[in-house]
Amino acid sequence: MNKGLLIVLSGPSGVGKGTVCAALRQKTTDLVYSVSATTRSPRPGEVDGVNYFFKTREEFERMIEQDELLEWAEYVGNYYGTPAKFVQEQLDQGKDVFLEIEVQGAMKVKQKFPDAVFIFLAPPSLAELEKRIAGRGTDDDEVIRRRMQVARDEIKLMEEYDYIVVNDQIDCACRRIMSIIEAEHCRKERIVPQLTTSLNEVL
């Protein structure tokens, strides 16, 4: 059986990763979505085990020690991480796994999974990004200022990704991401091993 694709969607805080990911979930049925662990407090409406696994700092640090995380990072005072076992199991079963994570984490996944598909969700402009961060309404001015500084550093890492999707319209961004996944399944490196059986008289 062919292994699944690991698709990593990342981008600066406030660019709309969560919104795009939620829209994508409504459109696709053949992607498995990884659920991250975090120590940050749930926002209104967020559900443990669905949006995140909400952990205490003690619980999270025990997961780090026991090497149970594919990647983890501390970001604006909180831990975020990806439980490794679930991802690997799904890939081994031939399922495509979708990771929506912070930029620091994506760079760590890249070291462990160089064959993964890295998609950077970019804001149309910095002004638009600041508007979105401020418009969220859950952060004070100091947090917004720090987030914008982090965002600038994160955008500089854009070149490390395979694809860049500008999040100008959510539907367009989703369509582009779905196209990227379909196209990656057609890449020569992935198809040739599959075709060697049916065309084995030739190859």
Is 77 annotated as belonging to a binding site? no
Choose, by CB under 8 A, the member of 124, 145, 169, 171 that binds its own copies.
Answer: 124
For position 179 contacting its own copies by CB under 8 A, the verdict is yes
Phi, psi of 6, rounded to the nearest 5 degrees: -100, 120
To the question of whether residue 124 is assigned a binding role by annotation, the answer is no
Q: How far apart are CA 37 and CA 55, in angstroms?
A: 7
134 lies in the site for its own copies, by CB under 8 A: no
Can residue 35 be called a binding residue for its own copies (CB under 8 A)? no
Nearest to its own copies of 37, 177 (CB atom): 177
CA dist 162 and 101 (Å) reads 15
Residues binding its own copies: what is the number (CB under 8 A)?
Answer: 38
The reply to whether 30 sits near its own copies by the rule CB under 8 A is no
Question: Running DSSP on this structure, what letter comes out for residue 4?
Answer: P
CB of 169 to its own copies, least distance (A): 14
The string of DSSP letters for 121-176 reads EE-S-HHHHHHHHHHT-SS-HHHHHHHHHHHHHHHGGGGGSSEEEE-SSHHHHHHH
42 DSSP assignment: P
36-62 exposure pattern, b = at least 16 Cβ within 10 A, e = fewer:
bbbbeeeeeeeeeeebbbbbeeeebee
Q: Which pair of structure tokens corresponds to residue 51?
A: 């949006």
Pick the stretch among 1-9, 75-83, 117-125, 133-141 that binds its own copies (CB under 8 A).
117-125
> Judged by CB under 8 A, which stretch of 39-47, 67-75, 95-103, 179-187 contacts its own copies?
179-187
- Kindly state whether residue 27 participates in binding its own copies, applying the rule CB under 8 A: no
Binding mask 148-167 for its own copies (x = CB under 8 A): ----x--xx-xx-xxxxxx-
Evaluate whether 161 touches 178 at the Cβ level (below 8 Å).
Answer: no
**Residues in the annotated binding site:** 11-18
The residue ranges that bind its own copies (CB under 8 A) are: 119-120, 122-126, 152, 155-156, 158-159, 161-166, 175-176, 178-180, 182-188, 191-192, 195, 198-199, 201-203
**Which residue ranges make up the annotated binding site for ATP?**
11-18
